[in-house]
Amino acid sequence: MSDALQVATPERVAVELPIAGLGSRAMAYLVDLALLGAVGLVAYFVVTFFVPDPVNAALELSAFVRIAAAAALFFALWVYWTLLEVAWQGQTPGKRLVRIRVVKLDGSPVTVLSSAVRNLLRIVDFMPVCYPVGIITMLVDRKHRRLGDLLGGTVLVRDEQVDLARYDQVTTSTVAVDDLALAMNYLSRFDDFEPAAQLRVGQKLAARLGLPGTDDAKALRDAIRAKLETR
C-alpha cells in the first residue's frame, strides 16, 4: 500500500507527503462533528425560547417542509466543509487539530471545484449510515481516498513541515519543468495505471527525457526515476 504522495515543489525538489490514514481522518471528522453538534445544541436552546417543544413542532410539519429542511441542513454542511477547506488551505477545525489537510493529487492546494465535488459526494460515502461506502473505498484505494476524493481529484496528507535540505534536486537544467511535472505524476501514479498505459506513457516520457526506449514498463519507470534523481 502506498503511504506517501510524491510531488515536485516550485524549487524543483522531489518530496514525499505522508498520506493520512483512516484513523486520523476519522478523528478529524469526529472533532468537526462535535463542533457542529455544539452549534446545533446552542441553536436548539435558542429555538426553545420561541417554540416550547421544537421536536414535536418539527414532527407536525408537512413532509415537504421536513424534506426542504433536511436539504437546507445538507446544504449548510456542504458549505461548511467546502468553505473552510478552501479558506484554510485544505483544513477544517478537525483537520487542523489532527494536522492533516486536503490537497490535489499533484500536491497543490485544493480548489473550490475539487472541494465542492468531494464534499458533495459525502452523501454517497455516508450511505446508508456512518460512512460504510467511504470506509470500504478508503481501505481498498492505495491513497486511502473515498469516492468524493476519487471524483474530486483530492487526497488527504499529514500536515508535516518539509525540510527541503533533506531532499535531492530531482532535475538538472536538461529537464524542462513541464517534463518534470509529467514525470513526477507518472511515477506517483505508476501502480494505478493499466500495464499497457504504464508502457505507453513511459515510452513517451523516456523519449522526452532523452532516455533509450524499451518494452519493459518497470525498466522505463526506474530509468525515469534515475534521470530525475541525477544532479
Q: Residue 141 sits in which domain range? A: 15-158
The predicted-structure confidence for 44-70, as pLDDT tens digits, reads as follows: 899 898 888 888 888 888 888 889 988
* 40 lies in some domain: yes
Domain count, the chain: 2
Cell of 181: 511535472
The predicted-structure confidence for 114-127, as pLDDT tens digits, reads as follows: 999 999 999 999 98
The predicted-structure confidence for 76-90, as pLDDT tens digits, reads as follows: 999 999 999 999 999
The verdict on 148 and 191 lying in the same domain is no
The verdict on 223 and 120 lying in the same domain is no
* 8 lies in some domain: no
| Residue that terminates a domain, selected from 158, 192, 218 | 158
The predicted-structure confidence for 127-186, as pLDDT tens digits, reads as follows: 888 899 999 999 999 899 999 999 999 999 998 655 545 444 444 445 566 677 788 888
Separation CA 143–CA 128 (nearest Å): 23
The verdict on 139 and 212 lying in the same domain is no
* 217 lies in some domain: yes
The verdict on 182 and 154 lying in the same domain is no
The verdict on 149 and 187 lying in the same domain is no
- Whether the per-residue pLDDT at 95 is higher than 90: the answer is yes
What's the number of CA atoms in the CB half-sphere (13 Å) around residue 153? 12
Assign 3-class secondary structure to the chain: CCCEEEEECCCCEEEEEEECCHHHHHHHHHHHHHHHHHHHHHHHHHHHCCCCCHHHHHHCCCHHHHHHHHHHHHHHHHHHHHHHHHHCCCCCHHHHHHCEEEEECCCCECCHHHHHHHHHCHHHHHCCCCCHHHHHHHHHCCCCCCHHHHHHCEEEEECCCCCHHHCCECCCCCCCHHHHHHHHHHHHHHHHCCHHHHHHHHHHHHHHCCCCCCCCHHHHHHHHHHHHHCC
* 170 lies in some domain: no
* 38 lies in some domain: yes
The verdict on 80 and 136 lying in the same domain is yes
The verdict on 123 and 20 lying in the same domain is yes
The verdict on 77 and 139 lying in the same domain is yes
